[in-house]
Amino acid sequence: MKFDARSAMRRAPRSSGIVRIAVVAVLLALSAGGMFAVARYRSQQQKLAQCNQLVDLTNQGYAKAIAFQGQDATALDALAGDLATVAQNLRSLDMTDETLQQQRQQVAQAYRELSEAYRQMGTALKLAETSPASEVGLDRVQQARAEVKAAGSAAHQAARYVDELAVEIDRYCGVALK
């Protein structure tokens, strides 16, 4: 068999063309996988940032409730206002993760309920404080006592719910929180 240089030259471009196509196909496959990895990484980072925001605000409300030392109507009203602000700040968080959206709404609702319970206690205490020293005043004080007890029970339930939600958030967000 005789070596024909022209045939060899014609074949070389074909094989190099196939190699080029194969290289391009591999690079495209790798870049698609890379784009998927980058998208997944960005999604995880976004979830982590949203988790941190939700946990931070939840902890702010918790810290305000724990730090509360007052026993008068004015202090209860101030705490109610602080918790209402936390609830409003929670509602204004922009969450793209559906689970975090639900958890945010639930925590905000729990803080609204806790705020309302403290506000009711403050109102009842004001009623008791302004009651005259008479039989009518005694009735008002007893009514106020019952209202404080009912509002205290509602506050306790809301606080327990916030604790349960915090555990759910921690579980969903994982140990990647800061």
Q: Using the 8-state DSSP alphabet, how is residue 174 labeled?
A: G
In 3D space, the residue among 77, 138, 145, 85 whose CA is nearest the CA of residue 111 turns out to be: 85
Mean pLDDT of 8-26: 57
C-alpha 100/C-alpha 169 separation (Å) is: 8
Least confident of 22-26, 38-42, 60-64, 116-120: 22-26
What's the pLDDT at 134?
A: 81
Q: With bands split at pLDDT 50, 70 and 90, how would you rate the model's confidence at 37?
A: low
| Mean pLDDT of the residues in the chain | 80
In this prediction the pTM is 0.72
Residue bearing the bigger pLDDT, 32 or 51: 51
What's the pLDDT at 77?
A: 92
* pLDDT at 126 exceeding the cut of 90: no
